[in-house]
A and B are shown apart, each in its own frame.
Chain A
Amino acid sequence: AQKITQTQPGMFVQEKEAVTLDCTYDTSDPSYGLFWYKQPSSGEMIFLIYQGSYDQQNATEGRYSLNFQKARKSANLVISASQLGDSAMYFCAIARAGGTSYGKLTFGQGTILTVHP
């Protein structure tokens, strides 16, 4: 079974500062993918960034980057230059990359990020 742990129920950051949202995972699969999603107060789920377990480099997408430490089983999301619109719930998720159930996502409980002006 796969598991995602997000230990920060809530985080606060000043506008224009960087913030790191923690995510640790547990899996016995040798190959997997890690995803981050953003859920604003309006409720929709927005895909942010993906990291493959065999990717040599940390993923980046604009102001989002992923600090992937495979040995520690962590995949922390870094948001640079925070904006007020970044205030939302953020979910980390994992998908196995093999077997009959590959592609299914297992989510963490989420971290609420609040950006202060």
Chain B
Amino acid sequence: DADVTQTPRNRITKTGKRIMLECSQTKGHDRMYWYRQDPGLGLRLIYYSFDVKDINKGEISDGYSVSRQAQAKFSLSLESAIPNQTALYFCATSDRTGTAGKETQYFGPGTRLLVL
């Protein structure tokens, strides 16, 4: 079984709808992240959480919200979807290894979202 899972894997929705993307991990990591990837661009950080009570905005958080329900679960919500939120969304996890800067992030398979 995959260590980091994302549901759904594909989603089509309409402008104005609220949707939630879910991420679960069995790696036991404290840290979780949400990224989006647009064609021709690298990944950009939306939100990140270093533990259940610590949630922080990334570089492109407008239009998104998150919930860290447990150590293993981190959900991303689009409150009112718009077409330019069409993208590939990734969840990632990392563990504080004790070596600063060496917190390798492990990614889920991604969710392809299309907003019509």
Q: Which residues of A contact B (CB under 8 A)?
A: 4, 31-33, 35, 37, 43-47, 50, 52-53, 91, 93, 95-98, 101-110
A103 vs B100: C-alpha distance in the bound complex, in angstroms? 8
Interface centre among A32, A97, A105 (most CB of B within 10 A): A105
> Which residue of chain A is the closest to B108 with respect to CB atoms?
A44
One of A4, A31, A106 near B101 (C-beta < 8 A):
A31
B residues in contact with A101, CB < 8 Å: 56
Report the tally of A-B residue pairs with Cβ distances under 8 A: 73
A100 vs B45: C-alpha distance in the bound complex, in angstroms? 16
A104 and B58 in contact (CB under 8 A), knowing A43-B88, A43-B110? yes
Min C-beta distance of B114 to chain A, whole Å: 14
A residues in contact with B109, CB < 8 Å: 43-44
Mark each residue of chain B from 54 to 67: 1 if its CB lies under 8 Å from any CB of chain A, else 0: 00101000000000
The answer on a CB contact under 8 Å between A45 and B90 is yes
B74 contacts chain A at the CB level, 8 A cutoff: no
The answer on a CB contact under 8 Å between B100 and A47 is no
